Amino acid sequence: MAGRRVTRRHIIFGICSSLGFGPLTASTAAQRYLFVTAEVPPYSLPSDEGRTGFVIDVVRELLSRLDAPLEIVSLPWRRAMETLKQGENVLMAPLARTPDRETRYKWVVPILTEEVRLYTIDDGPILTLEAARKLPSITVQGGSAMEELGIRLGLKNLDVAPDNFSMVKMLAYGNSNAMISFRMLALWSMEREGLDPERLVPGEVLDRFDVSIAATLETPEEILRPIREAFDVMRSDGSLQMILERYSLGS
């Protein structure tokens, strides 16, 4: 969708110092970025899905409004998180804005607010937090907002999985008693593994987090301002809502 250009500055998302380039200087700060993502359906999807995921669609729309070429680097989740800690002009999405992460990054724009819930399967109970504390195991993705939340809530029975696909399989095949997940992550992961999403039994809502675009602390504010301005226009002209609706996420 064509939109009002909020700046003439070209922002090129590319590979920077953390992947082998030299340090970025003030003169090049507006010209080179590293934008990293990870495969987190439906936020970002592998290329064989035919769609890129709604977060990547939002990023592409943002950069098109700035006349900015875009190169996206997809990395494993933990490596993407580590890359976001390095250097300036490094951006990442999707990333949940949690209390544990609040001061580690600059938060550029919130794309969507998601509920974090407990889940059981089939005829499992509608699980409360207090009941969950007594279970043998609750699965979370390692290094995720859900793991951080579980630790913050004092859960001693967390079982770490490498990704959401492993989580739903562990739950479906009886290797876990419950899991903590965003709703859309849980539903899409079930579908991807050939499992009926209707089998999931949502339990207590544990928290709500913004799914956001984040930047390293070293990224100058003047580089982030045009992105925020373009995002405000997307919200006001309805294009953000249209992107979310493509993935059945519209309000």
pLDDT tens figures, 105-154: 999 999 999 999 999 999 878 999 999 999 999 999 998 999 999 999 99
**pLDDT for 70:** 66
Tell me: pLDDT of 12 over 50.
no
Q: Is the residue at 119 inside a domain?
A: yes
Helices (H) and strands (E) in the chain, counts: 8, 8
Which domain CATH number covers 72?
A: 3.40.190.10
CA within 13 Å, CB half, 217: 6
Please state whether beta strands 200-216 and 105-121 pair in parallel, antiparallel, or not at all (unpaired).
antiparallel
Say what the pLDDT of residue 24 is: 34
* 30, 53: one domain: yes
If asked whether residues 107 and 216 sit together in one domain, one would say yes
Q: Output the pTM of the full model.
A: 0.78
Is residue 56 domain-shared with residue 71, that is, in the same domain?
yes
Q: Give residue 23's pLDDT.
A: 37
- Residue 227's CB is within 10 A of a number of other CB atoms, namely 23
The 3-state DSSP class for residue 33 equals strand
The per-residue pLDDT for 48 is 55
- Per the structure, how many domains does the chain have? 2
Q: Which domain holds residue 133?
A: 114-208
Are 60 and 91 found together in one domain? yes
